[in-house]
Structure 1
Amino acid sequence: MNGLVILIPVALLLGLGGLGAFFWATRDGQFEDLDGAAMRILNDEDPGTKRED
């Protein structure tokens, strides 16, 4: 029973911390371009080189 007195507030704090981190990431724009990284991995060109035709 004494363990629940410690574990319940710790679980609530961790849950609130995770929820706060999610809202911070959403507000910061982390989830705006979900397909960009998936498409960039398929690109064969290096970003620093120019393609000559």
Structure 2
Amino acid sequence: MNIIFLLAPFSILLALIGLAGFWWAVRNGQYDDPAGDASRILLDDAQDVPEPPL
């Protein structure tokens, strides 16, 4: 039963660290690419296309 008094604050601390990391990423523009994914799917990269056998 005493382990709960150790694990509960530790899990809340880990959750707060994860939330702070997510908040930092959002504030620094890590998720700001509105046109990138939409246009990237339409592009063909030469390195992704296998060459035909000779």
TM-score by length of 2: 0.67
Deviating more after overlay: 4-13 vs 28-37: 28-37
1:1-53 per-position Cα deviation (integer Å, ceiling 9, x unaligned): 1110111011111110011001100111011115513532431156xxxxxxx
User: Structure 1 residues 5 and 23, CA, compared in 2 at 3 Å: closer, same or farther?
Assistant: same
Report how many residues are paired. Answer: 46
CA RMSD, aligned part only?
1.9
TM-score for the superposition, normalised by structure 1: 0.68
1:43 partner SS = coil
Tell me the amino acid that sits aligned with residue 23 of structure 2: F
Q: Give the secondary structure class of the aligned counterpart of 2:20.
A: helix
Aligned to 2:3: 3
Runs of 4 or more consecutive aligned structure 1 residues displaced over 4 Å after TM superposition: none
